[in-house]
Amino acid sequence: MALSTASVYPENTATAFEIAARLGYDGVEVMVWTDPVSQDVEALRRLSDRHGVPILAVHAPCLLITQRVWSTDPWTKLQRARAAAEKLGADTVVVHPPFRWQRQYAREFVQGVWRMAGETDVRFAVENMYPWRYRDREVLAYAPAWDPTEEDYRHFTVDLSHAATSRSDALGMVDRMGDRLAHVHLADGSGSAKDEHLIPGRGSQPCAELLDRLARSGFDGHVVLEVNTRRAAGPAERAADLAEALAFTRLHLGSAAGVG
């Protein structure tokens, strides 16, 4: 069970390592974004060593705000994410499908990810996204599709907050991913047009059911808490939210693992 460094925003990457160590998370997933430390492999290695918290995954810079992080070329971003994962001992790179306006990248994406996956032991786990909505309008912002199960990828990441935003059947999506599900972003959602990343148990997503299924199936990937704590009143409330998320995950993974 890992903590995404995005979960402490607006605090920084270094704070995420400190909180993960203090609360007893098994590791972290580094969200590469505008924080310079998140982009610096040596700085990340020092944080990992200082706090005794391994880096289990690297989230490539795929957001609108990271369009210029590690290059403006999306393939260079993935190459650098892979290199960072290899140097840091992480086994997974999380990547979003391309934006539709990245036309050449989108056309080459499926084959390109397969090619890159064949060059390393690091897993490229493509994450489910969602349509963008404004009032009664829906914009398809990702290509080839926001639902990665429509394409042939070697590994998938399922994100339950994104499933809520897309109003998808999360467990049905997991079924379609099958044994190619390599990585989980655990968060809750209510079905709002906004990507909420609620603490598990505070929304309508089948967080407990998914954890039960993972434990019973012998899932050997990572469950990463990727939640939104930006409305926390301060550090103490943020830490309490992240402790609650970890306790929820341990409870439902552990209770299922102990059955049968």
pLDDT tens digits, residue range 67-97?
999 999 999 999 999 999 999 999 999 999 9
Indicate whether this model's pTM tops 0.85. Answer: yes
For residues 2 and 185, give the distance between their C-alpha atoms in angstroms, rounded to a whole number.
9
pLDDT at 86: 98
Residue 258 has pLDDT above 50, yes or no: no
On average, the pLDDT of the chain sits at 95
Q: Quick one: CA dihedral 95, 101, 105, 111, positive or negative?
A: positive
pLDDT value of position 135: 75
Question: What number is the average pLDDT over the span 34-58?
Answer: 98
Residues 154-204: pLDDT tens digits?
999 999 999 999 999 999 999 999 999 999 999 999 999 899 999 999 999
Q: What is the pLDDT of residues 210-254, one digit of tens each?
A: 999 999 999 999 999 999 999 999 999 999 999 999 999 999 998
Q: Is the pLDDT of residue 99 over 70?
A: yes
Please give the pLDDT value at position 97.
98
| Closest to 183 in 3D by CA, of 81, 89, 56, 87 | 56
Strand 132-134 and strand 137-139: the pairing is: antiparallel
pLDDT of residue 255: 60
Predicted confidence band of residue 257 (pLDDT cuts 50, 70, 90): very low
Residues whose CB falls within 8 Å of the CB of residue 4, separated by 6 or more in sequence, listed in order: 16, 28, 29, 31, 59, 185, 224, 225, 226, 227
Q: Taking residues 24-44, what's their average pLDDT?
A: 98
pLDDT band with cut points at 50, 70 and 90 for residue 260: very low
Q: Summarize pLDDT for 126-157 with one digit per residue, the tens.
A: 999 999 987 778 888 999 999 999 999 999 99
